[in-house]
Amino acid sequence: MNIQVITIFPEMFVALTDFGVTGRALKQKLWQFSSINPRRFADNELGYIDDRPFGGGPGMIMQAPPLQAALDYAKQQDSSAKVIYLSPQGKPLNHEKVLSLAHEKALILLCGRYEGIDERILQHNEIEEISIGDFVVSGGELPAMMLIDAVLRHLPQVLGDERSAKEDSFCQQLLDCPHYTRPVEFAGLAVPEVLLSGNHAEIAKWRLEQSQQRTKQRRPDLWQRRENGDS
pTM tops 0.75: yes
Pairing mode, strands 189-190 and 185-186: antiparallel
Reply yes or no on whether the pLDDT at 174 is more than 60. Answer: yes
Strands (E), the chain: 2-6, 32-36, 50-51, 61-62, 82-92, 106-111, 128-131, 185-186, 189-190
Helix (H, G, I), strand (E, B) or coil at 157: coil
Domains in the chain with CATH codes: 2-152 (3.40.1280.10), 167-228 (1.10.1270.20)
Helix (H, G, I), strand (E, B) or coil at 107: strand
Alpha helix segments (H runs only) across 43-139:
64-77, 95-101, 119-124
Q: What is the pLDDT of residue 230?
A: 75
Residues 6+ apart with CB under 8 A from 83: 71, 74, 75, 107, 108, 110, 125, 126, 127, 128
The answer to whether residue 88 is catalytic is: yes
- Among candidate residues 162, 168, 219, 226, the one labeled active-site is 168
The answer to whether residue 156 is catalytic is: no
Give the end-to-end CA distance of the chain in Å, rounded to a whole number.
25
**What pLDDT, in 10s, does the model give residues 18-40?**
999 999 999 999 999 999 999 99
**Residue 173 pLDDT class (50, 70, 90 cuts):** confident
- Among candidate residues 115, 129, 162, 176, the one labeled active-site is 115
Reply yes or no on whether the pLDDT at 169 is more than 60. Answer: no
Q: What is the mean pLDDT of the chain?
A: 94
- Among candidate residues 38, 141, 143, 153, the one labeled active-site is 153
- Among candidate residues 88, 118, 141, 143, the one labeled active-site is 88
**What pLDDT, in 10s, does the model give residues 40-89?**
999 999 999 999 999 999 999 999 999 999 999 999 999 999 999 999 99
Nearest to 84 by CA among 136, 50, 121, 44: 121
The answer to whether residue 168 is catalytic is: yes
Q: What is the pLDDT of residue 160?
A: 73
